[in-house]
Structure 1
Amino acid sequence: MSASIAVPATPVRAASAAGRATARLQVSLAASDAELRESQRLRYRVFAEEMGARLHNTLPGHDHDALDVYCRHLLVRDGASGELIGSTRILTDASAQAAGGFYSDGEFELAAIRALPGRVMEIGRTCVHRDHRNGATIATLWAGLAAFVAEHGIAYLIGCASVPCADGDARAIYADLAPRHLTPPALRVTPRRALPPTAAPRRDYVLPPLLKAYLRVGAQIGGEPCFDPDFDCADLFIVLDTVNLERRYARHFLGRDA
């Protein structure tokens, strides 16, 4: 694997939501199997050790699946220490065809997405080290994604945003977001697994940071959530028309006008 993304040659200096300067971060695509393994180890620490997800891995201490070899892996590092602190993977439409489908195909019926004009790419397996879950890290990830989108002519970004199922959080979040953030009917997807029965939705939930980040750059929700038994959570299907990504990204994550 070789890195082809046009990211800044110097480390990215991002700003938090409050506009404060942060430590320098670096974003790049994984350029070796060793870097891919780093990403898989970070994913394992976040998903298995921290979140308690049931992973179907055969390599101890690594989160991996059959799609990894078809994906590009975007990495965020601490510029001072070189430590990997964030990761997401990119699956383009061409690579998804070679792989037999997107990851989201396992959770949603995607006929409406396949009919979209222009190139589509899926982002997934996004994770950030618990000590670096802040606006700067998310902004740096989006800087890399925005560069990839521009370089490869991507028209639509898709992916899944996870929300808790406990105590009706998922139902409450969907009910509150749907009136403002649902896609047009022609772009709706159908979940393959309905949410399990729960108590009445509660209103004191916390919106997950990744979902909040998607919505801030103009993403829409593609319909009812799908239940993910391995993570014991609900996944919302996300669609983002990238036309306004650069403008929204600059305003919401870098604290400046486009």
Structure 2
Amino acid sequence: MLTLSGGAEIGDSYSARYYNLSRLREFDGRMAEIGRFCMHPEWHDPDILRLAWGALSRHVDREGVEMLFGCSSFMGTDTQGYEDTFAMLRERHLAPKRWLPRVKAPRVFRFARALRLRKPDPRRAMAAMPPLLRSYLAMGGWVSDHAVVDDQLNTLHVFTGLEIRAIPPARAKLLRAAGA
């Protein structure tokens, strides 16, 4: 985890290798970049994520973090099978314009543009949604309008941001309880 004193340091982040994050330089608050959090695909124990979020909430409170960010990964580099998920991200979860990351990586899937006419099937969209990304979105998180194609790690990933003040109070209370 990388904790930044503010948006002026965003260029030091791992995410900045793949996304043009110049708009986030204006963020006036402490930020924390969450590195790769991987779970075995056959493990579906929700307590794993709860424990991770609990530990993260302790860090957020202790350090006064106001925004979490990082890359949320999809298995494989083929967009087939993820169209409903990307269409749902475009429809419901795009970053606010003032923070929207721009393209930097050489290979991207511009899903907001490519799927602008597609109506997502919510069931299929959620079934293909990575669990960690689902958690971010349930707390008010948002994503970039494009996915980076990462051939080295055999993934697609979207920039993901979560402003701490956007987390619903009841959810924040549960996260803090899990971190106690």
TM bucket by the smaller chain?
A: 0.7 to 0.9
Matched ranges for 1:107-122 at <5 A: 107-122=18-33
- Counterpart-to-counterpart distance in 1, 2:168 and 2:56: 10
Q: Which residue of 2 aligns with 1:195?
A: 109
Residue correspondences, number: 163
- TM value normalised by structure 2: 0.75
Gap change, CA 1:101 and 1:156, over 3 Å in 2: same
- Counterpart-to-counterpart distance in 2, 1:135 and 1:118: 30
Q: Which residue of 2 aligns with 1:87?
A: none
Task: In structure 2, give the amino acid aligned to 1:235.
Answer: H
2:123 is the counterpart of 1:217: no
Q: Which residue of 2 aligns with 1:32?
A: none
SS state at 2:81 partner: helix
Matched ranges for 1:91-240 at <5 A: 91-94=2-5, 101-129=12-40, 132-164=43-75, 165-166=77-78, 168-191=80-103, 192=105, 193-195=107-109, 204=124, 206-240=128-162
- Counterpart-to-counterpart distance in 1, 2:168 and 2:58: 9
Gap change, CA 1:249 and 1:230, over 3 Å in 2: farther
Q: Which structure has the bigger radius of gyration?
A: 1
- Counterpart-to-counterpart distance in 1, 2:52 and 2:168: 13
1:110-157 Cα shifts (integer Å, max 9, x gaps): 101121111111001112356654211101100111110011011110
Query: Runs of 5+ in structure 1 lacking a partner?
Result: 1-89
Gap change, CA 1:245 and 1:176, over 3 Å in 2: closer
Gap change, CA 1:186 and 1:102, over 3 Å in 2: same
Matched ranges for 1:20-59 at <5 A: none
Task: In structure 2, give the amino acid aligned to 1:190.
Answer: R
Higher RCO, 1 or 2 (CA under 8 Å, sep at least 6)? 2
Query: Runs of 5+ in structure 2 lacking a partner?
Result: none
Aligned-residue sequence identity (percent) comes to: 25
- Counterpart-to-counterpart distance in 1, 2:151 and 2:46: 29
- Counterpart-to-counterpart distance in 1, 2:19 and 2:39: 25
- Counterpart-to-counterpart distance in 1, 2:161 and 2:176: 19
- Counterpart-to-counterpart distance in 2, 1:223 and 1:207: 16
Task: In structure 1, give the amino acid aligned to 2:140.
Answer: G
- TM value normalised by structure 1: 0.54
- Counterpart-to-counterpart distance in 1, 2:42 and 2:162: 28
SS state at 1:127 partner: coil
Aligned-residue offset at 1:219: 0.8
Aligned-residue offset at 1:252: 8.3
Aligned-residue offset at 1:173: 1.8
